[in-house]
Amino acid sequence: MATTSTAVNACNASLWLDDVSGTPRDISGSSNSIDVSLDHNLGEVLSFGSKWPKRLECGKDATVTIEVIYSETASEGWDVLKDWYFATAPGARTLTFYIPDKNVGSDKFETQARLESLSWTADRGEAGPIMVSATLRPDGELTHSDVAT
C-alpha cells in the first residue's frame, strides 16, 4: 500500500474563541495545543453464554482542552479566557478550530462551548512561559465541515 502523501501536522492550526462581546478572536498566536476527545456513549449488552458484548450506542460528547500562553495583551488567549471565567454570567461561546490550517479543504470544527475549568501553575523554577490549560465542553452539537471559502 502506498504511503499517504497528505499527512498533516498542527504547525498552522487555527484557533478562534469568542470574546465577551461575541467577537471571534484568533488566539492561535497565543496558544499551542488543542486536545480533542470525541466520545460516544456506548452500553454493553451481555447475556448468559455470550463471550463478547454487543453494544448499543446513544449520545455523543466531546471535550476540548486548549493550552494558551499566559500573556498580557488584550484579546489574546489568556485575556479572553480570564474574562470568560470571571464574567458574571460566563455562558456559552463559539469555539472554532481549523486543522491543519484555515485554508480551503481544511477541517473546521465548531461548537458553542462552556468553560469547564481553567488551570495553570506558576513555577519559579520554570523559565518558559506560564501555560494555561482550559477545558471546554460543547453546549450542544460539535459540528465538522470542510473549509470552502
**How many CA within 13 A on the CB side of residue 29?**
9
Helix (H) or strand (E) holding 94: strand 93-99
Name the one range near other proteins by CB under 8 A: 41-49, 63-71, 81-89, 104-112. 104-112
Q: Does 24 bind other proteins (CB under 8 A)?
A: no
21 or 149: whose CB is closer to other proteins? 149
Per CB under 8 A, which region of 14-22, 42-50, 100-108, 123-131 contacts other proteins? Answer: 100-108
Closer residue to other proteins, CB minimum distance, 67 or 110: 110
Contact status: 148 vs other proteins (CB under 8 A)? yes
Question: What are the C-alpha distances in Å from 32 to residues 29, 67, 84, 86?
Answer: 8, 6, 19, 23
Residue with cell 499527512: 7
Alpha carbon 40 to chain centroid distance? 17
3 forms part of the interface with other proteins (CB under 8 A): no
Q: Is the dihedral of CA 117, 142, 139, 114 positive or negative?
A: positive
**Choice between 11 and 104, CB closer to other proteins:** 104
**Binding to other proteins (CB under 8 A): which residues in 118-147?**
143-147
Q: How far is the CB of 24 from other proteins (least distance, A)?
A: 12
Residue with cell 459540528: 143
Given the rule CB under 8 A, which residues bind other proteins?
6, 103-105, 108, 110, 143-149
